[in-house]
Amino acid sequence: MSVGSAQADGSDPVIGSTNVVVADPTVPRPAGTPCVVQLFNDVTFTDFNTRPYDYTPPTSCQGRWAKVVLEADFSVTAGRQYDRTATLWLGGVNLYFGTTQEPSRVVSPSWHVERDLTDYDTLLRQAGKGQAIIGNIVNDTYTGVIHGSARLLFYPASLLAPPAPVPDAVYPLGADAVGNTAVLNGPTDKLAKTLSLPRNVVRAYLDVFAQSQGGDEFWYTCVPDAYAAQAQECGGGNFREAEVSIDGQPAGVAPVYPWIYTGGIDPYLWRPTPGVQTLNFMPYRVDLTPFAGQLSDGSPHEVALSVAGAHGYFSATAALLVYRDRHAHQVTGHITRNTLADQPPTPTIGSTLVADSSGNVSGDITTQLTRQFVIEGYATTSSGRVVSSVAQTVGFNDLQRFTINASTYRQQTEQLTQLDSVSQSRVGPLMTVEYRQHAAYPLQVDYNQQTAADGSVSVATMAHQGYTNHGERRWLGFAIYAADVGNTVDSSDTLNFDASGAVTGHTGQQSAQSFTFRDSFGSCYRTDLSTTAGALATYATGQGCPDQQNRVWWIAHPDGSPDSRNLQVGW
């Protein structure tokens, strides 16, 4: 799942362009001509009403599919407009979740996004109702009109592109039959659905989106309430984590990525290259397979999502993906171990923040939480007794450094979220399948506000975002596949204000992005770019990759081997 560059046709962007440009790859495709289903075309978004559409599966591609890809194109007219949250839905299931690019007085940006929806095969085989939601205000002040089009591309299976192994069912957690997000204002709020599932579940996963909104938009800079006034910052602390439960029992966690939207902190930081995943969020996939036996017992079960630390508010959605045992009518089993249940998400807070006799404030506030847990269960299937376990170490470390006096307000944020996970399935004494993952979300923000003697102000901001993911599949203890994904964005800019607070200009605007992918089959992708003064300065693709096109099939679907598209979503 990825966001493509503004050049959806695969051509390189033009040096000097002020349009949106990213280093991310588009979704790789198998060979062959796809069937195309248009969801909507050139729809305008000028209010907060939904834009409904009808979906019918393609009549020309009724067999098995090797790949299903969502493509969407958006633009916003030049003028003034906020970044807006954008979502697409079908039958209650989220097809796309992201934000929009902010325009400028002279630039009308356009961008192209894609998402691999192959795992939602069973949803897409049925006609249904969908809707696009981009709440937008257009008036004399906010003039930017957003336009959008979206379509689904279905690639038929063939000898060279075998059918994808897909879940047998997809269940949305939302209450809206067509689809919408849930508002989670606090840690006790939850998005929940009570489901009566088939009696032969053997594997289950939950795709999770948790987007920060409102007072939580800049959660990564917030501090505990006790220090909020002194640090002149938002309260509520800065630890956030999505929590999954089944029947009220902790079942898994999903780290929250610190997305920064195109109006965030300083809008010039993100022109023309936005932050990591800003235009197209990646869902995090939580492995719930240890609960397969419990979910198959014929009773209704509540699957729920909440956000630890939520402080008004998070916008959330989730979809449950279920695989069935096609050779058994009834699967039985239970959870045998769950150490997550005894580890509440309570971080340790430290502070060296001090104020001198003149009221000058300096010092650090630290937030730290590390948890190690194991969830294990068994399921009696047609293959015998399968023991499944998920062992994870989840770490969160944050430092907020403050220097506050008459002429300076400086806040330096250093945050790192990490996750190490091992999912195992065993039959008898043999470990049949093992998946290992290491993910890291580094974030550094340096916000330096200086006030001159005449009351004018300069605000220099530097931001670094990173996303790394290493995934490895093992069988009988032997590694059969491994892949690495890396994505970094570095941006800087200085905003200038006069004594009345009006913006007088900005200087030093520049950014750089690098996106890399490499796997054990020799597939490789790399693109690097840089921007200066709001325009593309350099763009290089394929450096260090002897044949970048090798990635096209193995990223997409290495039939029978791990599907590395999931390395970006945390499966």
Report pLDDT digits (tens) over 394-410: 999 999 999 999 999 99
Q: Does residue 557 carry a pLDDT above 80?
A: no
Burial of 538 (0-12, 13-18, 19+ CB in 10 A): exposed
Which pLDDT score, from 0 to 100, does residue 427 have? 87
Q: What is the pLDDT of residues 509-548, one digit of tens each?
A: 999 999 999 999 999 999 999 999 999 999 999 988 976 6
Which pLDDT score, from 0 to 100, does residue 568 have? 33
Helix (H) or strand (E) holding 430: strand 430-451
Question: Are 492 and 463 in contact, with CB atoms under 8 Å apart?
Answer: yes
Which residue has 């004018």 as its token pair?
Answer: 456
C-alpha–C-alpha distance, residues 367 and 171, integer Å? 36
Which pLDDT score, from 0 to 100, does residue 555 have? 36
Helix (H) or strand (E) holding 286: strand 284-287
> Whole-model pTM?
0.94
Rg (CA), the chain: 24
How many residues are given for the chain? 571
Given pLDDT bands bounded at 50, 70 and 90, which one contains residue 10? Answer: low
Question: Are 133 and 49 in contact, with CB atoms under 8 Å apart?
Answer: no
Which pLDDT score, from 0 to 100, does residue 491 have? 98
**Left if phi > 0, otherwise alpha if psi is -120 to 50, otherwise beta: which for 237?**
left
| Averaged pLDDT for residues 290-312 | 97
Residues 6+ apart with CB under 8 A from 359: none
Q: Does residue 553 carry a pLDDT above 80?
A: no
User: ∠ CA 390-391-397 to the nearest 5 degrees?
Assistant: 125
C-alpha–C-alpha distance, residues 164 and 108, integer Å? 39
Which pLDDT score, from 0 to 100, does residue 554 have? 35
Q: Does residue 550 carry a pLDDT above 50?
A: no
Mean pLDDT of the chain: 93
Among candidate residues 401, 33, 24, the one with its CA nearest the CA of residue 227: 401
Q: If you count DSSP H runs as helices and E runs as strands, how many of each does the chain have, helices first?
A: 4, 29
| Averaged pLDDT for residues 377-389 | 95
Burial of 440 (0-12, 13-18, 19+ CB in 10 A): middle
Q: What is the pLDDT of residues 92-150, one digit of tens each?
A: 999 999 999 999 999 999 999 999 999 999 999 999 999 999 999 999 999 999 999 99
Q: What is the pLDDT of residues 406-451, one digit of tens each?
A: 999 999 999 999 999 999 999 877 768 999 999 999 999 999 999 9
Which pLDDT score, from 0 to 100, does residue 565 have? 35
Q: Does residue 230 carry a pLDDT above 50?
A: yes
Among candidate residues 1, 117, 9, 133, the one with its CA nearest the CA of residue 57: 117
C-alpha–C-alpha distance, residues 349 and 306, integer Å? 22
Helix (H) or strand (E) holding 551: helix 551-554
Provide the percentage of residues in the chain whose pLDDT is more than 90: 89
Question: Are 245 and 206 in contact, with CB atoms under 8 Å apart?
Answer: no
